C-alpha cells in the first residue's frame, strides 16, 4: 500500500510479530506497525501518491480497506502524524482517507493536515481530561468525530484551523491553528 521514502534517525517496523529497522524503499503492508525514536522521523508515500510524515516518538499502524468503507486509514497510537493526501474530484467516497486515534477519527476531504494524540497532559479547556487528539488543517477540509463519545457530533475543520478531541467528549469547535505560538505584540 506504500513504501518508506524518507528516514531520519532510528525507526522500527513490526510485521507479524517480528521487528526490524526501517529502511528507505521498504514496502509497507496493511497491518504494519511503525515506531519512530527520539529525534527521528520517517516519510511514507502511499500508492496513490499521498504522503505521510510520522514525527519523533510516535507510533502508528497502517490500515487497509475495511469491508464496510472504501477508506484507507491509519491508526495513530502515539505522537504526531502529518498527512498530505492526494485528492481527486473523482473520488467517490466522502472520506477516502482517515487517521484514527484511540478517541478520534479524522476523515479527509482535503489534502494537508496534522494529527497528534497526546496522553498524560491535560487537554486545554478540559483540565480533568489527560488524553486528547489534536487535528490541525493546512489545506482542504477534515471531518472529525469521536467514536467513543455518546454525542454524535461531527466537526468540519477548514484550512488554517484546528480542533481538539478530549477523552470521550465530542470535538471542540473549530479554532485558529497554532495560537500557542502567538503572544503579545512584543514592541519593547
Binding residues for another protein restricted to 33-52, rule: CB under 8 A: 38
Rounded to an integer, what distance in angstroms lies between the CA atom of residue 112 and that of residue 138? 5
Close Cβ partners of 29 (under 8 Å, ≥ 6 residues apart): 1, 15, 62
Among 76, 99, 108, 177, binds another protein (CB under 8 A): 177
The HSE-up count of residue 177 (CA atoms within 13 Å, CB side) is 15
- CA 169 – CA 145 distance, rounded (Å): 9
Which range in 8-16, 29-37, 40-48, 130-138 contacts another protein by CB under 8 A?
Answer: 130-138
Among 112, 117, 145, 169, binds another protein (CB under 8 A): 112
By beta-carbon proximity to another protein, the closer residue of 100 and 161 is 161
Burial of 94 (0-12, 13-18, 19+ CB in 10 A): exposed
> Binding string, 55-94, against another protein, x = CB under 8 A?
-xx-------------------------------------
What are the strands, taking DSSP E only, across the chain? 2-8, 11-15, 18-21, 27-28, 33-36, 41-46, 51-54, 59-62, 72-84, 97-101, 104-108, 112-119, 131-139, 142-145, 154-157, 161-166, 175-176
Of 25-33, 87-95, 98-106, 126-134, the segment contacting another protein by CB under 8 A is 126-134
Cell of 48: 496513490
Q: Counting contacts by CB under 8 A, is residue 118 touching another protein?
A: no
In terms of DSSP H, where are the helices of 65-149? none
Residue 152 or 185: which CB sits closer to another protein? 185
Which span (8-16, 63-71, 127-135, 144-152) binds another protein, by CB under 8 A?
Answer: 127-135
Mark residues 132-171: x for contact with another protein by CB under 8 A, - for none. Answer: -----xxx-------------------xxx--x-------
Q: 23 vs 179, which CB is nearer to another protein?
A: 179
> What residue ranges bind another protein (CB under 8 A)?
38, 56-57, 112, 121-122, 124-125, 127-128, 130, 137-139, 159-161, 164, 172-188
Amino acid at each position: 500500500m506504500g513504501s518508506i521514502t524518507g528516514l531520519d534517525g532510528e525507526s522500527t517496523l513490526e510485521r507479524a510479530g517480528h521487528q526490524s529497522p526501517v529502511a528507505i524503499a521498504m514496502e509497507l503492508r496493511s497491518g504494519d506497525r511503525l515506531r519512530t525514536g527520539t529525534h527521528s522521523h520517517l516519510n511514507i508515500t502511499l500508492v496513490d501518491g499521498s504522503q505521510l510524515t510520522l514525527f519523533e516518538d510516535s507510533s502508528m499502524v497502517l490500515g487497509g480497506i475495511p469491508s464496510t468503507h472504501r477508506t484507507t486509514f491509519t491508526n495513530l497510537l502515539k505522537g504526531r502524524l502529518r498527512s498530505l493526501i492526494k485528492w481527486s474530484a473523482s473520488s467517490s467516497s466522502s472520506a477516502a482517507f482517515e487517521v484514527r486515534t484511540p478517541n478520534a477519527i479524522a476523515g479527509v476531504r482535503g489534502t494537508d493536515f496534522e494529527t497528534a494524540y497526546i496522553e498524560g497532559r491535560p487537554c486545554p479547556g478540559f483540565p480533568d481530561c489527560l488524553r486528547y487528539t489534536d487535528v490541525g488543517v493546512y489545506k482542504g477540509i477534515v471531518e472529525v468525530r469521536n467514536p467513543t463519545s455518546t454525542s454524535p457530533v461531527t466537526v468540519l475543520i477548514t484550512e488554517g484551523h484546528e480542533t481538539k478531541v478530549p477523552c470521550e467528549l465530542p470535538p471542540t469547535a473549530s479554532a485558529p491553528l497554532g495560537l500557542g505560538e502567538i503572544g503579545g505584540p512584543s514592541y519593547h
